Amino acid sequence: MTSPLSPLQTLRDACTGFARDAAREIMRIYAGDLGERTKADKSPVTDADHAAEAVILAGLRDLTPDMPVVAEEEMAAGRVPKLDGGPFWLVDPLDGTKEFIKRNGEFTVNIALIESGRPILGIVLAPASETLWRGAMELGADKSEKGSRFARIATRVPPAEGLTAFASRSHAIYSDLDIWFRTNGLIVAERKQAGSSLKFCLIAEGRADIYPRFGPTNEWDTAAGQAVLEAAGGEVVTTDGKPLLYGKPGFANPHFIARGKPVR
């Protein structure tokens, strides 16, 4: 006899399906004309951003009709939901649009559930590689590749020879990163780059140790990845060591550090 699913498991499993449905739309468009254009803030957007968001919004509104959804393209269109202090969804239907346009595969679908300012559930799916990471408070983090069964993932203890550090594929400012590492007495043995929220997930599965971000991001860029990383044993903190929280005015993030096991 199987045990009944918890409410969080039910939401996680439903959102896994929404992400996979969105990924199919993304890859359909990826195979042809991307419909690339520029938004008012000068950032790029494609037909895939809108198609994936429509799929996810329909699913979430059917699943939790009374829960607000903050989604990137809805926000760009001026459709800002009213938050009442209760739980809400954060959606980035295609994180890494620049990487999508470059056709390098480093883009993701992101769905996160926020409660009391913290991401308690996150789904990150990389459509090009068919890799899906999930994390949920009290449920842990896991990963599936190409439809395989989910396997548990966890952060690693940093190697004695030094950290593997991630930087953004399109937004890295290495001089700032070098100064920060030296100031904090951290030894970096290897540097890697990746687009979108992949950096959070690769730290979550123990393939790297730290990702400092000293440039602008929005809450929908980070929430799902943070949920995965924290469920795997890591953390995301601001530069003053406080947890990165959600539901802030304007939904803009401060600078932050994503890391696996504590770095001393």
With cut-offs at 50, 70 and 90, classify the pLDDT of residue 32: confident
One domain, residues 210 and 232: yes
With cut-offs at 50, 70 and 90, classify the pLDDT of residue 64: very high
Expressed in angstroms, the distance from the first to the final Cα of the chain is 46
One domain, residues 119 and 213: no
pLDDT tens, residue by residue, 122-147: 999 999 999 999 999 989 999 999 99
3-state secondary structure of 62: helix
Alpha carbon distance 180, 185 (integer Å): 9
Residue 253 lies in a domain: yes
Contact predicate 246/219, CB 8 Å: yes
Residue 1 lies in a domain: no
Q: Which residues, other chains included, contact 203 with Cβ-Cβ below 8 Å and sequence gap of 6+?
A: 155, 166, 209, 210, 211, 229, 234, 258, 259, 260
Q: How many domains does the chain have?
A: 2
Q: Domain containing 232: what range?
A: 163-259
What pLDDT score was predicted for residue 193?
85
What pLDDT score was predicted for residue 2?
47
Dihedral (Cα; 98, 99, 100, 102), 10-degree rounding:
90
What's the Rg (C-alpha) of the chain?
A: 17
pLDDT tens, residue by residue, 176-199: 788 889 999 999 999 998 877 999
One domain, residues 252 and 176: yes
One domain, residues 126 and 51: yes
The domain spanning residue 249 has which CATH number? 3.40.190.80
